[in-house]
Amino acid sequence: MNEAGGFQQLPSLVLTGPSYSGFGFALASVGDINQDGFQDIAVGAPFEGPGKVYIYHSSAEGLQDRPRQVISGSELGPTQIKTFGYSLSGGLDMDGNSYPDLLVGSLSERIVLLRARPVINILDKTFTVTPSKVDPAQCTPKSCMTVTLCFSYNQSAGDPGYSERITLQYTLEADKDRHPPRVRFSGSQSATYTGDFSMPDTRCQSQELLLLDNVRDKLHPIVLSMNYSLLERPRTFQLGPHSLAAFPVLNQDQSHENETKIEFQKECGSDNQCYSNLQLQSSFVTEQNQPLPRVNGTQVLQYSRDVRKLHLSINITNVPTAPWNGEDAHEALLNVTVPPSLLPSSVRP
């Protein structure tokens, strides 16, 4: 817009709605309804069912191409409204809560005032695991790893007097892509834990994460994820003005999830990455452990009725040949394929 004193010939963004909905019949700037510093807009679609209003947020990159909220005339209590969104007027704070509100008109002889609810920013989302590297030898049946969560919040409008009690519900999930998981939360047999915080003050909670017995895979880290949501108070339809301070919403531009990885303590240097040097030697031997003869470097097996058993000797070493190899070889596996003409008898170290 306003390039060389005029408009761009090609649109930079096109918003579309359902066919025959009248999307775009009414358009209004609604001000900065989430108090992020950018102006937002409302678009009416009065012929989409009973009528709908689409709310679009803006950001530093411009107007977002997907609606953040869609409000239908059928959601407005027992009053039947048709052509909701026929006209729009926004940008004024009608109830003095520092958030702009929106007036929506219709052809049903009704005007609806939609008031913006307080927007909550979640701060100090501390999400830590102690220790960051787990040593199975140090774990006990009651203690291994401590997961700590801390939350605090403020109101996006910056009202220092806003101190409503809110409740955040959070879910911790460990090893969610592994079946079965290698850990569980103390007091349960599950790798998932759900809890809640009641604020306004900064609150911290800790949960104990226990390592199961006989864990083989110590090479891959334990992935621990966390997500949270706001538990809303029950609402009833009311006519007339009433405070919305007790009914905030979370800032949807903030991420409501987090993830951390818990490495296993391995004897693999300061980088905790294991570089092994596995070497394998094998040969067929007699019952007295003497190697069978070789021809041109290859062992020759001659069939005889006197031969009742074949002994295969396998020797595996992990000896360092350089400063950076010969470290622990986790989950090492030996696979021996036996032809159908031979019947495996026994394995001994």
For the segment 163-201, what is each residue's pLDDT rounded down to a tens digit? 888 999 999 999 998 989 999 999 999 999 999 988 887
For residues 22 and 212, what is the distance between their CA atoms, to the nearest angstrom? 60
Burial 267-286 (b: 16+ CB within 10 A, else e): ebeeeeebeeeeeeeeeeee
The DSSP output letter for 78 is: T
Neighbours of 226 (CB within 10 A): 18
pLDDT in tens, the chain (349 residues): 555 666 666 678 899 999 999 999 999 999 999 888 999 999 999 999 999 999 999 999 999 999 999 999 998 877 778 999 999 999 999 888 889 999 999 999 999 999 999 999 988 788 999 998 999 989 999 999 999 999 988 888 777 778 888 999 999 999 998 989 999 999 999 999 999 988 887 789 999 999 999 888 888 899 999 999 999 887 766 666 678 888 899 998 889 999 999 998 877 767 767 788 888 988 888 777 888 888 888 887 776 777 677 788 898 888 888 877 777 777 788 888 888 877 888 888 7
Q: Where are the domains of the chain?
A: 26-114, 119-264, 270-349
Smallest CA-to-CA distance from 226 within 262, 200, 198 is with 262
Check residue 345 and give its pLDDT. Answer: 82
Average pLDDT, the chain: 87
Look up residue 307 and give its two tokens.
Answer: 């031969």
Pairing of strands 222-231, 166-174: antiparallel
Structure tokens that stand for 136 in this block: 């199975």
* Cα 35 from chain centre: 26
81-140 confidence digits (pLDDT tens):
899 999 999 999 988 888 999 999 999 999 999 999 999 998 878 899 999 899 998 999
pTM here is 0.73
CATH 2.60.40.1460 at 119-264, yes or no: yes
